[in-house]
Structure 1
């Protein structure tokens, strides 16, 4: 049975924006079998768009015969370029109210209880931290009556573990919730946005071959990454390479242009740009063309004039951005590598923090949160207009970021560049601690 009407197909995208006043965004109702009483119930499907989470399919089932109900959310958008891992330290009962988007490919762990929910064992959900705990308890309690009759010893151990899970909701002691999603489509709320959340750590990572196979984006028998046909960079300089790809917004066929560029007074970088002719979406990304530097780099610029907005800026994917006067910190990999201006970076920060914040609009928003994010956006606009003087800090442990010195080759009085030794944790995030580049022996 088709759930997409011919009218929707003719009218364009079947995914509608979320809007409380939109009378056309009614869910599609389908008669379906209840898996609890095996009589007919009703499934409601809503194809919609939400910020950050792209297109989703929200489904809700209810049975009028036995009153059983079930809801789930499934991503209908693209798999992100990187996986994401959220680590939340739950300290108070207020942390239990944090909203969580958990994709079906995500792994949920509570290290203190040695508890783990493997990927693809639960459907995707839009819930809270407390809701995740309740769902875990409900799953463990589901077959307990049968276990008590067939294996009382195992049943008693599960009952004890269920009590431990329920006790977590009292938050008598701190515990850690880890959500690791190789698809990058999970999300944990930051209630103090745009400020940094001290209780929440977000790490983006590159997927392994096994994870790509689980997501269905790599064949099961493909265990090795393809190597480029040639390694002569001299032949690539001065040329614009074009290769086919898909638009990250509408998934239509598009072309990506790639070119090696030498940044003055810095190093060589790879610039990639994608332009979709179907929906008009444009994106660009910068990758460092060199190796990881021996020392990290911290660049601090005192913004004192609107002319500072025109400074060229190279932000690598390992660079974090800090604006102390706004109490703002953007972690590494939150924004992809960019070759832009300082104004372009601030506009990207505003768009990511306000426009693409999944809890900025809809039923999840509150007046306090809307006011706080709105004020942050206004402050960013004042910085761009030169009405508010701030310090912008680019902290790149890989040393591959750059900010233009308009006084070059003389020192810039408003900019300081500091070289520092990376910590063990920073080397761990860059994958350098386990990297061995010396002492290899070649077999004849």
Structure 2
């Protein structure tokens, strides 16, 4: 089967081979005889016969029609398979059925196709029937036969349900008579189903054919991955940004194997950042860190916020590892590198500072002094008053790399309580960032010649 499906009727020798193997569907073609293969009957487990017919449907494609019959128990079965590959796009046929001639249209319905009649709220779900080469009347007839199959048993066990199904079967039978116009929809994500256009190659006013791009769910249903093309390469990048990546590492506390999760996050009105979180199942240690997703900015950034309301504690804060934090009223300064990169709220940042102060070695053990420990405890209480909204202070984020951020609660308007300043970095600040020795332009001229 796969060898037949690999044939491309549009190329050279393969085209000639395909023409010999897949002949147009024609009842008068005496050379178009099915191949017969002995097969096991799954009903009585005796030998039956499977007939395979390789044919081409005009204005469509090649298909393989298989039919099984058993002479012992008279069981029969037929189905079709596409001789080609899954198409690049799905297809949906919408046919306005107006007369009985429309019921004679040929229909190819694959296993994964869904057939619907919206007027009756009737649907044949995907994978509920084998693929079939039939007519629209035959497709509805198969549905009627499937519903009638278990009716005798239902009438004995649940007459109400059996009665409702009888009413619905009578509606389907009226469809076959086309007492009134209705709509037939055939939706196939594989793109291999077909509804005949009797006016081909001219346009059929009653038939609308729509090609569409498969969803990820439909691709998974077909057992394939969502295909990427040049025009949707940006979508694949967006999918990567929405994905949480994971890699193995060691716990910084106990050195046991652990895992680090990493995700790219777009901060509104700012830029992309990379958030990394490490969890250790052995000792329970947890840590998170934020890295800027972009380059060092041309100018440094200094953000000053006047904390006036407890709601300020909910503002998002991105503190990069190059950012200094100051609270002038408390004469407090947190240097670059302390706490690392953080993406949290203002309350979360103050709690981290409070925890850092509480873990200070000068407040613990024999090295602590009552005076120094008392000052640190008093500082911790002041931080708590700020978080409770009882103390108004100024919070300063000074980042020479320009990669820190504090949420503007009034965005996109200006925040009256926040001031953002851009400044030229000093030589010392560039030295700390390693920029003085970094050359990105004209370095080719400095490379010594090999001659």
TM-score of the pair, normalised by structure 1:
0.46
| RCO comparison, higher one (Cα < 8 Å, 6+) | 1
Structure with the largest fraction of helix? 2
- Greater C-alpha Rg: 2
TM-score of the pair, normalised by structure 2:
0.46
